[in-house]
Amino acid sequence: MKHSRRLLPLLLLVLLLAARIPLRGQTLLDDYRRDVLRYSRALKMAASASRAAGERLAVARTGYLPRLSLDGSFSVAMRRSEGAKPWSFGVTPQLVQTLYGGGAVRAAVDEASLGSDIALCDEEFTRFEVCYSAEYTYWNLSAMEEFAASMRRYVGLIRSLKEVVDYRFSEGYVARSDVLMIDARLSEAAYELLTAERNLAVARHNFNLLRGAAGEQQARLAQSIRDTLPLPARVAADEVLERRADLRAARLAGERAAAGVRAVRSEYNPRLSVGVGASWRPHSPNRTGSTLLDGEAFVQLSVPIFHGGERRRAVRAARTEQARTVWQEAQLRDDVVREEMNGWTTMAQARAQVVASEQSLRIAGENLEISTYSYGEGQASILDVLQAQLSWIQLYTNAIQSRYNYAVAVADYRRITATPAEE
């Protein structure tokens, strides 16, 4: 007895672990999500955009560094001069350091830095979108499997009833009209089964192609829409606004637009730079071919004075663009709040529909059993049985649809609130 008590917790643990381990060849939702993330072209493009933005930031930072350049030329005179060489050349290296560029370099670095942050936010947002797409496709395949299975069962019920009708007709208990009605219903159900099988094939193609597998590959799901999915905890609106990567990107876009205003203004500010250079060339006129090496140090100052109001108009246009990004952020903020509220309502209503549809399905199942039995005993008409079958398949379909809607609503709410799948 003592040994049995000691082994009981161990057996429960083994059963729990066994329940969590999928059968061979089955695909868990988490595994499928990882496969989709690994294969996603959209995520790869977003990652490439992030790397490109990082490189643009590195390019902008080079504006702080001195620049070394080398100019060279070589020429041959077409007209000969007595005592002079016909050729000449010049080599001019320069090293220039900008001391004050009107704020252009700092503004360019700020724009590039914010652009890099925006690209990272876009990549994060794309990741959540891809995760939602994976979950949607997974649950869609599960729903199509359930729809196809329900139609197969429906066709099986009608065929079973047809055997009874054919027997009663052969015995003279029912009229020919009963046989015709059951044949028509069977033909209609077979057509609906073909439609369900087609939808299942399309869902399987989408499931496989999204993860980079062959479209016709068979897929076995370890989870189903009939599994009980817990209702996620509601996320406060302020927390949602902090989590959403697209909203952070919109906020950063406003800051980048402000840096753009500074960049436009800097184009009309004075610029000061210093440098050293050298010149290597032949003597002029070039009589002996000997060369001259000379050096210089210089200061360059550029001051825009009058451009016909160009600066004022350019800055005004940049500020207008900045105002537009601010309004875009405000609009997106309102959209996110509304999206969260609608997402929560949809999810809660979908869960309530699951409960209601399951209860209705149980009642329809009992009614179908009673009608089928009564017809076999001659106490009900074929119309009663056909109506009971039709009600049952409709409620069965509603139950599948409600569970599918709930699973998709849960996935969509996690996407809206930027909740990682692990939470």
Find the range with the poorest average confidence among 26-35, 379-388, 413-422: 379-388
Phi, psi of 372 (to 5 degrees): -65, -45
Give burial (CB, 10 Å; 0-12/13-18/19+) of 183. middle
User: Rounded to the nearest 5 degrees, what angle is found at the Cα of 223, between the Cα atoms of 219 and 228?
Assistant: 160
Given a cut of 90, whether residue 18 has pLDDT beyond it is: no
Does 306 map to a domain? no
User: To the nearest whole number, what is the mean pLDDT of the chain?
Assistant: 87
Taking residues 65-93, what's their average pLDDT?
A: 83
pTM recorded for the entire structure = 0.83
Instruction: Give the domain range for residue 148.
Output: 26-65+128-242+335-416
How far, in Å, CA of 76 to CA of 88, rounded? 6
Given a cut of 60, whether residue 185 has pLDDT beyond it is: yes
pLDDT of residue 2: 45
**pLDDT tens figures, 224-277:** 998 888 889 999 999 999 999 999 999 999 999 999 999 999 988 899 999 998
Given a cut of 50, whether residue 14 has pLDDT beyond it is: no
CB 282 within 8 A of CB 289: yes
Does 265 map to a domain? no
CB 37 within 8 A of CB 211: no
Find the range with the poorest average confidence among 80-89, 195-204, 301-310: 80-89
Given a cut of 70, whether residue 15 has pLDDT beyond it is: no
Highest mean pLDDT (candidates 148-152, 365-369, 386-390): 148-152
**Which pair of tokens denotes residue 385?**
């049985």
Taking residues 30-53, what's their average pLDDT?
A: 95
Between 370 and 289, where is the model more confident? 370
User: Among residues of the chain, what percentage have pLDDT more than 70?
Assistant: 94
pLDDT of residue 140: 96
Tell me how many domains the chain contains. Answer: 1
Consecutive H or E run containing 271 = strand 271-282
Does 370 map to a domain? yes
Helices (H), 226-309: 237-243, 245-266
Question: The domain that contains 139 carries what CATH number?
Answer: 1.20.1600.10
pLDDT of residue 20: 46
Does 2 map to a domain? no
Find the range with the poorest average confidence among 115-124, 240-249, 289-298, 358-367: 289-298
Taking residues 389-401, what's their average pLDDT?
A: 90
Given a cut of 50, whether residue 16 has pLDDT beyond it is: no
CB 228 within 8 A of CB 186: no
How far, in Å, CA of 124 to CA of 12, rounded? 40
Does 4 map to a domain? no
**pLDDT tens figures, 80-121:** 777 777 788 888 999 999 888 888 899 999 999 999 999 999
Name the pLDDT band for 8 (thresholds 50, 70, 90): very low
Closest CA to 136 of 326, 339, 405, 420: 405
How far, in Å, CA of 268 to CA of 307, rounded? 9
For the beta sheet containing 271-282, the strands, ordered from the edge strand earlier in sequence to the opposite edge, are: 67-76, 87-100, 271-282, 291-302
Does 17 map to a domain? no
Between 65 and 3, where is the model more confident? 65
Does 403 map to a domain? yes
Does 286 map to a domain? no
Name the pLDDT band for 24 (thresholds 50, 70, 90): low
Between 171 and 7, where is the model more confident? 171
CB 33 within 8 A of CB 131: yes
**pLDDT tens figures, 266-289:** 988 899 999 998 888 887 777 777
pLDDT of residue 422: 63
The DSSP symbol for 298 reads E
Given a cut of 50, whether residue 367 has pLDDT beyond it is: yes
How far, in Å, CA of 179 to CA of 166, rounded? 7
How far, in Å, CA of 201 to CA of 208, rounded? 11
**pLDDT tens figures, 322-348:** 999 999 999 999 999 999 999 999 999
CB 59 within 8 A of CB 255: no
- One-letter amino acid for residue 48 of the chain: S
Find the range with the poorest average confidence among 46-50, 211-215, 333-337, 419-423: 419-423
Beta-strand pair 26-27/220-221:
parallel
Given a cut of 70, whether residue 13 has pLDDT beyond it is: no
pLDDT of residue 369: 85
